[in-house]
Amino acid sequence: MGGANKLANYGKRYMKTFSHKFGEFLWQQLVFGASIAGLILWQQIRRGLITAPTIKANVMAVGEPYGLVVGAIIVWHMVRTAYLLYLEDQAEIESLNEKLAAKVVITGLHDTDPRVEAVFVDERVLGDKSSSLRLTNRGAETAYMVRIFPVKLKQRILTFPDLAEVLENSHSARFAPYVGDQWGYDSHWDFVRAMSEEWASYPDYSTRREVVVAARIDFENSQGVRFEANFELLYHGGQGYNNPEKHKSIECRNFAYRRIPLGITLSE
């Protein structure tokens, strides 16, 4: 049944393409050519160049080769139609293969790819207001152009100006977000305070224990193939708004990697 349906669909496509292409030729060439040939034959008869007894022979002399030419043209159009359908099918197959390859490749990493992971580093216990993300390459290949994509919160965007041009296997680099000094003192790198502000923006912050924010790491391999590590920043708000600062922390979780082939452009 499936083969019969495919054959029927192909037949419909073939007849549609053939009738369209041959119809153009029939109108432009056959009708016009036949009209010219008929007009010439009529003028020859009218001027006495062709007599009544020889009309049939003269018509056949013109019509037979013309018919052979028309038959050859019809065969040519039949072959050409099949070839055009073949080109269409090949183009569609290539397009589907490219899309399929892109979907397959970007859903994970190869064993030889770099793999960058993030861990939250809390230095507030040392009396420093700063905190950051430590990125470590756990993959087999060196990671290049490593950066953290800006994190969008409700009221601000956290930018990570740091850029690690090279991150070799098992090597790490620290990235601190710029969050501004909106609290009246130099808190430019106070990651936890920014997430605390995000948590406090929820109407139910007094009972809410956690806030989840999407984050992303971008990096490349030596061939220029791009990678994305999409993950979540899980902010723990302690046991309430007035709890000590040490009860508040950030966790990086649920990493999902995408390998983006060369020539593939994804929207941000």
Q: What's the pLDDT at 244?
A: 46
Which residues lie below 8 Å from residue 131, measured CB to CB, with a gap of 6+? Answer: 120, 121, 122, 123, 124, 176, 189, 190, 191, 192, 250
| Span 217-222, average pLDDT | 93
Range picked from 140-144, 188-192, 241-245 for highest mean pLDDT: 140-144
pLDDT at residue 186 greater than cutoff 50: no
pLDDT in tens, 25-78: 666 666 666 666 667 666 666 666 666 566 666 666 656 666 676 777 778 778
Two tokens, residue 207? 């009972």
Long-range contacts (CB closer than 8 Å, 24 or more residues apart) made by 152-155:
152/213, 152/214, 153/194, 153/195, 153/197, 153/198, 153/213, 154/198, 154/201, 155/197, 155/198, 155/201
When mean pLDDT is compared across 83-92, 113-122, 164-173, 215-224, the lowest value belongs to 83-92
> For 79-91, how does the pLDDT look when each residue is reduced to its tens digit (9 = 90+)?
887 888 888 888 8
pTM exceeding the 0.85 threshold for the entire prediction: no
Conformation bin of residue 23: beta by default, left when phi > 0, alpha when psi is -120 to 50: alpha
**Per-residue confidence band for 154, with pLDDT thresholds at 50, 70 and 90:** confident
